[in-house]
Chain A
């Protein structure tokens, strides 16, 4: 069982509100990621971080921002939510695991965001 947590699980808000999606992991992983996933579609990387004070934009353009002040936390913020932001947001972290030379990504349960 992965130790990566996202809150809230579900969020319904009005247009123009500022929101922060929380993500925390207790595995000590340096690498963390945010993905956006619409129903029946593939995951799209929107932000990633390779360590404290390191953040980069992913492949999919996003109006959200992220911060990485502590290893275990990687919050995502939308300054002014719009209906086009309605989606599922998945946080992940990755690190080495026994039995594999490759890092394994562990995902949180996701936050389903609806902007009205």
Chain B
């Protein structure tokens, strides 16, 4: 069964600290993995997208890694800010954009305290 599991379910950190969110998937075949940020009451916003051949991608203070062999990905947030408080969702696609379907994780709820 194709699944996307994220951990931890929730996380509280102090402003300025770093954190790492995990994503494990069993989706096969694999096309690409995406990380989204979803603020409360808003739609998700794309942070990174990685294909099979990419093992790291950065977007400002966000760095995503991908190990396609172990089917694991992580999202590292550096020097957290209050505005980083949101749900971070891992999404895996099983084919190319035209035909692929997306498998969504339940997200990690990150809270950054001052």
A residues apposed to B, CB below 8 Å: 2, 6, 40-45, 59, 90-92, 94, 96, 100-110, 112
A110 touches B43 (CB 8 A): yes
B49 touches A102 (CB 8 A): yes
A59 touches B97 (CB 8 A): no
B106 touches A40 (CB 8 A): yes
Report which of B46, B51, B101, B109 forms a contact with A101, defined as CB distance below 8 A. B51
Query: B30: CB under 8 A from chain A?
Result: no
B43 touches A107 (CB 8 A): yes
Return chain A residues, CB-CB under 8 Å to B42: 109-110
In the assembled complex, how far is the CB of residue B85 from the closest CB belonging to chain A, in whole angstroms? 15
Q: Report how many residues on chain B are interfacial, defined by Cβ distance under 8 Å.
A: 24
What 10 pairs between A and B have smallest CB-CB spacing?
A107-B43, A103-B97, A42-B104, A43-B104, A42-B106, A102-B97, A107-B44, A102-B32, A90-B43, A108-B43
Query: B8: CB under 8 A from chain A?
Result: no
A100 touches B45 (CB 8 A): no
B106 touches A41 (CB 8 A): yes
Report which of B49, B104, B109 forms a contact with A104, defined as CB distance below 8 A. B49
A109 vs B41: C-alpha distance when bound (angstroms): 7
Per-residue 0/1 for B77-114: is the Cβ within 8 Å of any A Cβ (1 yes, 0 no)?
00000000000010001001110011011110100000
Return chain B residues, CB-CB under 8 Å to A108: 43
A59 touches B101 (CB 8 A): yes
A102 touches B101 (CB 8 A): no
